[in-house]
Chains A and B, each alone.
Chain A
Amino acid sequence: MCATQSATAPLPTRRSCPFDPPPEYERLREQEPVSPLAFPDGKVGWLLTRHEDVRALLADERFSSDRLRASLPVRAFRGRPEDFGPRSGMLLTMDPPEHTRYRRMLTRYFTVRRMRALAPRIEQVVADHLDAMERGGPPVDLVSAFARPIPSLVICELLGVPYTDRDRFQGWTSTLLRIELEEDEALAARDALHGYMRDLVAAKRAHPDDALLSNLIARDDGEDPEVDLTDEELSGIGRLLLVAGHETTANMLALGTYTLLSHPGQLRALREHPEGIERAVEELLRYLTIVQFGIVRVAREDVEIGGRSIRAGETVLASLAAANRDPEHFADPEELDLDREPSQHVAFGHGFHQCLGQQLARVEMEIAFPALLRRFPTLRLAVPPEQVPMRDDMFIYGVHALPLTWDRPSDQGS
């Protein structure tokens, strides 16, 4: 086969199967694992598709997370420059030591122990939504009835955001995660979300509660700017956690359910052995890799990766989806194997920025999937698979809706 060495192409985004990344990644990983990439802003950078290279990049401090210097992999709203600047609270796009300061403040709220302590409340929330689904009867859109409200309610309670405001902020957050978005629409959503969160921070200063935002305010000593957070910082942290808490687990729950329903043998085994849910969740994370366009980094200096010279200032895109299907690291990577041995999947990223909320996501999924399967033993798609609207147009992959049906007890004669 004739290798198209050094042909600079845009990021492959066309999937041939809803559960698999674009097939072009496989060719790139085999033939050109560090390949020149044409970014939508006209700049040329690099695309990494091997697991080893992706992990190395994300752990390499010669690369910066600074969003202001990086090109974005797809045409998308960048935000206003001050959204990512110093003391903006937007730790996702910061480097040490600024990132470290925020991360050390926040990690205590997302430890394994703390997230496990939320399990009884999450079980209750899941049961409430299953009850409502059962009362309403089929068909049901799993996204609006289950997958979105559960993580939304949980992150709202954790942060201290009124869940009753959800129609407002869910609209803004989903707008901001769309690609190919018009600038004025993006700015309107951005400004609305900023205004909402600033007002909320002011309300927490006036009337604190027991949740995270009030806790962050309560640690102020009024003197040390390293400790005290400004309203802008609190608002930035609040926006990041609210968006991240909404759009990630929600999409894993809906897309994960669709995946399970499309793999009946695997689903049957999981129903028979629900204690295997921990491995199953890790495998769904690997297999689906909903951060579909990957993570960008900017070289601070000239660096060599896989024999290619990356110049200072160039953007490198780590494809998490390609890395998670690398046969050098995963046996039969194209197979969904819910009993796969623990592996170094990069669905949560890698390095200092590895997902802050990952333990929350795990607990939510480990509770929600088995409860859903237990409640509806005959759960199935209510439409032909080709009618399930996929989120190819969103930063976070998944389904826009998942119409499901099941046999009611009366239908089954039980």
Chain B
Amino acid sequence: MASTVTLAKPLALHWQQPGPRLFATIKGLLFLLCLLPLAQLLWHALLGHAVNPIEDLTRGLGTWTLRFLLITLCVSPLRALGAPGWLLRLRRMLGLYAFFYACLHLLTYLWLDQFFDWGAIVRDIVKRPFITVGMLAFLLLLPLAITSTDGWIRRLKRNWGKLHRLVYVIAPLGVLHYLWLVKRDLQSPLIYAAILAVLLLWRLWRYLRPTLAARVK
């Protein structure tokens, strides 16, 4: 009889509150999943008979930076829509992947596009708005990546949350960087802009809701 009592938890409970081992597995799988785009981009550039592999790599890394920023911004709305709480514990990794892809994207520009010609790079940053905003977005990502550790979260207390709201500036700069780079066909950057707009407007609405409700009363 006792054996029926010790039966495994129902599946729904596993989903809501996974044990430490299951959570570690989920986290490990997500870690590997986030590396797949990089593997695909490198495979395509090095072995895929691409005509202009360097441009494909640079563009691909930029696209994935934007995608990871948007994915990170999806966590809170998903949580509000009823997704389990442990999703929040994966957000840091998603954000750090955005930073990781941003670093590689910047590296392809500095190395494969400019070949570390620092004079030309500085002129580029000053003169070309799309590079200016791209570089600005990267610089703003830096403090977020640095303060992503448990130690910094403890030290900064409430200010940590305030600091990390910088992502609401970084993501639009990233979309603008893409929009200003495109020659004529704005369809793709506008899709990113629309998704970002939904994610940011949802936050604005949630932020203003209490004030608005109070006024109605």
Answer yes or no: are A and B bound together in one complex: no
B contact set with A: CB distance below 8 Å: none
A contact set with B: CB distance below 8 Å: none
